[in-house]
Chain A
């Protein structure tokens, strides 16, 4: 597609439930990133995929968070046993290169509200 697509755009879930957030990157972009942005805060790095390499999971806040990228394209971020502090906008971005020499293209995000 022309841009990075994320779904759903909004998700309200009950505390303790699992949620899955989806990201469709730009076709041909080998690098894919997940960030989280709480209300009024900056972007917090979560996880990064580059081609077939092992993902960089150094930003995942707890073992309740996991992500996968199938076929080098679509990615799913899963949050298990959601907590109220997980409420935030989850942003996905893709890039044609891992080296930071190209700008990232971000999706519009998924707004997650845990009630």
Chain B
């Protein structure tokens, strides 16, 4: 069955450093991979989407990579700030998929000032 793995342990980093979050998937051939941010008590917020033919995508301080051989996506936040503290979710979408996103469990990032 399809499986998505994100590090369940919280990631604690110092302000100004780069945070790197990992998303691994198995039994998938995603055409796209989406990343979301979720704050406590709120719904997830869409951040970035990367396509299978893209190696890297950037948006301001965010960078996403997509390695279809390793079946892995990395999500980087450079020059991290305490306001970046949240849970980050990945969601691979298979080609021909109806669009039904299955989300990973998420990794909680804590940026300390």
Interface, chain A (partner B; CB < 8 A): 4, 31, 33, 35, 41-43, 45, 48, 50, 56, 91, 93, 95, 97-109
Contact = CB atoms under 8 A, between A and B. Distances in A.
Contacts of B93: 99-101
Interface in B15-50: 31-32, 34, 36, 41-47, 49
20 contacts: A31-B99, A33-B100, A33-B101, A42-B104, A45-B101, A48-B98, A48-B100, A50-B98, A99-B93, A100-B32, A100-B101, A101-B51, A101-B93, A102-B49, A103-B36, A103-B49, A104-B34, A105-B46, A106-B45, A108-B41
B98 A98 contact: yes
Interface residues of B, number: 25
A2 B43 CA distance: 15
Given A43-B44, A99-B93, A101-B31, 17 more contacts: A33-B101, A42-B104, A43-B89, A45-B100, A48-B99, A48-B100, A56-B100, A97-B99, A98-B99, A100-B31, A100-B34, A100-B93, A100-B99, A100-B101, A101-B32, A101-B51, A103-B36
Query: Can you list the 7 inter-chain pairs with the closest CB atoms, starting with the nearest?
Result: A103-B46, A100-B93, A106-B43, A98-B99, A42-B105, A43-B103, A100-B99
B79 interface: no
Contacts of A97: 99
B25 to A, nearest CB: 14
A109 B101 contact: no
B69 interface: no
Nearest to B106: A42
